[in-house]
Amino acid sequence: MARDWSNQVTRRKPPEGPKPETANIPADMKRKLDHVAEISKNARATWFSLILLLLFSTIAVAGVQDRDYFTYGAGLTLPVINFQVPVTSFFAVTPVLILGLYTYLHLYLLKLWRALGDLPGQLPNGVALDDAVFPWMVADAAILLKPGAQGRAFGWLTRSVSFIFLWAAGPIVLSAFWWRSFPPHNLLLTSWIGLLLCVSILGGSLSFLLRWRRLKNGEGRSATLFYPFLLIASVCASVVMLATVLTAGLSRIVWMIDVPVPAWASEEAEDAYQADEPIYAPGRRSWLYSANLYRAELVERPKTWLPRAEALEEFKARFNKTARSEFSKDQDWRAAIEAFETQRGALLESLRAEDFKGRNFQGANLEEAFLPGLDLAGANLHGAILDSAQLEAVDLTSADLQWARLKGADLQGADLQGADL
């Protein structure tokens, strides 16, 4: 049976009228409000993305230990995605992503400051500007700066949260990257992150100053705007210089600029410092960050690994069941010892490790560290703690071992030719 449509009434949604907040205002002002809404939507999406990236990076950096830069096969397991990446690569790339998103957000915000600056604190219909614009905490905090803007309850909280997550969070996380890049004493890596940190501080400061002048005073750019900007730039440059001191040492910096080393950075000053004599000039080696590599395994440890003495005892028990005192008299045993040395040498050569030739371990705590067969030729181990470390067959040719502690270290077969002791 066909349905009777004669009594059906089609109900249509009535057209939406103007919102009460934007009613009875000029068309040009309404267009400006729409423009603010579009900017706010795009900027807010970027802001949320930045917050997620900062949260992700903070969790990752918090899990990094000094030994992760040195241990063979060690990497950083990224949260959420559970994917392992090399620590150095993560520290070199992630700050670039943070700075890129941080800069992109503040470029949007510069448009927002200009758009809000063209609007009055109170619309002609008596509605406050923060009630008429697109609802976003950042825009509300900016409007509170405008002359004639209505005060709001907890306005201070809005401004504080806005400042923390909009301006401070990015540089703070980059500062964490910068600080945690100290352990390997990699001058290039630390200076690179320090440069990105300075750019973020400078860019955020410029955005903050432009917001203040545009909304608080109704001004655009001016010559005086860049006075505090130059001050911030000077501070940031000092921070980068401090990073080079903490990672490379003052004597290396002086060598790079090819000027005579001052007396207070010389070996005489270092000797006086080690003897507990007073030194009041800067440049002491104690400024350097000391990596904590206690019991770190810089060489891949085989599952069947035994220290040399224990391995030799096992070899004796397995291949010769005579009394221990008879070993040195037995010619066959002497031949067996040569076989043991050959097998031991092959084992040490097969151990896998990163390339540490010429690396800077100055002041590092390598107590009880696992380093057999490692190539440390030309490495800087000045003041390093190597107590009870396994250094069997380590190549220490031309290494700097001044003031290094080697109490109880296993140095059997180590090559110390040309080492500075």
Whether residue 289 has pLDDT greater than 70: yes
Task: Give me the mean pLDDT over the 261-281 stretch.
Answer: 45
92, 178 Cβ separation under 8 angstroms: no
The CATH fold assigned to 290-301+353-421 is: Pectate Lyase C-like (2.160.20)
Whether residue 206 has pLDDT greater than 70: yes
For the segment 180-195, what is each residue's pLDDT rounded down to a tens digit?
Answer: 988 888 888 888 898 8
- 326 contact partners, CB below 8 Å, separation of at least 6: 333
Alpha helices in 150-300 (DSSP H): 155-163, 169-180, 187-211, 226-248, 250-256, 267-274
Q: For residue 333, what are its two tokens?
A: 């045993």
198, 240 Cβ separation under 8 angstroms: yes
**Mean pLDDT, the chain, integer:** 76
Task: Give me the mean pLDDT over the 71-89 stretch.
Answer: 83
Specify the range with the lowest mean pLDDT, choosing from 133-147, 225-239, 404-418: 225-239
| Radius of gyration, alpha carbons of the chain | 33
Give the span between the Cα atoms of 12 and 15, in whole angstroms. 9
Phi, psi of 347 (to 5 degrees): -65, -45
For the segment 345-389, what is each residue's pLDDT rounded down to a tens digit?
Answer: 888 888 888 888 888 888 888 999 988 888 888 888 888 899 999
Give the span between the Cα atoms of 268 and 118, in whole angstroms. 65
DSSP for 76-114 reads EE-TTT--EE-HHHHHHHHHHHHHHHHHHHHHHHHHHHH
pLDDT bin (cut points 50, 70, 90) of residue 146 is confident
Residue-level pLDDT at 327: 52
For the segment 103-121, what is each residue's pLDDT rounded down to a tens digit?
Answer: 999 998 988 888 887 777 6
Q: Global pTM? A: 0.77
Distance of CA 111 to the CA centre of its chain: 31
Q: In angstroms, what CA-CA distances link 395 with 155, 287, 348, 365, 379? A: 64, 28, 12, 19, 10
Whether residue 13 has pLDDT greater than 90: no
Q: How many residues does the chain have?
A: 421
pLDDT bin (cut points 50, 70, 90) of residue 328 is low
SS3 305: coil
Give the span between the Cα atoms of 234 and 220, in whole angstroms. 24
Residue-level pLDDT at 254: 40
Residue-level pLDDT at 100: 95
pLDDT bin (cut points 50, 70, 90) of residue 48 is very high
Residue-level pLDDT at 165: 87
Spans of all domains in the chain: 24-187, 251-287, 290-301+353-421, 308-350
SS3 55: helix
